[in-house]
Every structure is written in structure tokens, then in C-alpha cells.
Amino acid sequence: QVQLVESGGGSVQAGGSLRLSCAASEFRVSNNCMGWFRQAPGKEREGVATIDSDGSTSYADSVKGRFTISKDGAKNTLYLQMNSLKPEDTAMYYCAADPWLYCATMPKMVRSADYWGQGTQVTVSS
């Protein structure tokens, strides 16, 4: 049974940093599509970043230059390094995975990714 477990969320001031982790079991992070998504209160879930099996990455425009997605095959863990955090980054952050070499678009993954974690809360105060 595939499990994705996020950790690393918390409360920080604007301009601060956090690193989220997503530990996977029964699913190879290095060989498949992985992504980070977020949902703020009253808003729809949206894509943040994805990483393909070959390490190619995609980012939402709102986080480009501030967030970095990466993976560690040995630890079977996905990461999201978040720098220069803004209050508008406040949301529940979810890890998602699809059993494909290359990720679909983020809007499609929001609707149809095969596996999701339970989420970790990120709160950024001004």
C-alpha cells in the first residue's frame, strides 16, 4: 500500500524559510512523477512544483525563484525548499505522486494524481 507522509510545516515570519519532506513507502520516488500542491482556506488546490523521473522540474509562476523541489532516491523522499516566504504562501501543502516517468500538467495532477499525502500546514505571518 502506497503511503506518502509529509512533514516540516510550521509557522514562520515573512522572509523566512522552511523545508518540507515527503517520505514515500511502496513507491519509488526516483523512478516516478512527484509533486507538491497546496490549498489555502476557501481556495482550490493548486500546483506548486513537480519533478519528473529524470529530475526535470516545473514550478508555478508564484513560487519560481523562491522554491526548489528535489528528491533523494536513497532516502526515498521528496523535498520542497521554500525561501523568501510570503503570507500568501500560507496553505496546507500536499505531496502527490503518479506512476509515470513524466508528470502531467499541474492542473491535471490536481484532479487525477494517483496518490496523496495527508498534508502539512505552512503559515507565514507578516
CB 14 within 8 A of CB 1: no
pLDDT tier for residue 88 given thresholds of 50, 70 and 90: very high
Residue 31: closest CA among 3, 52, 57: 52
Residue 10: closest CA among 89, 95, 96: 89
Give the rounded percent of residues in the chain with a pLDDT score beyond 70. 100
Model pLDDT, residue 5: 98
Model pLDDT, residue 117: 98
Return d(Cα 19, Cα 83) in angstroms, integer: 9
- pLDDT per position as a tens digit, 36-86: 999 999 999 999 999 999 999 999 999 999 999 999 999 999 999 999 999
Q: What are phi and psi of 92, to 5 degrees?
A: -85, 130
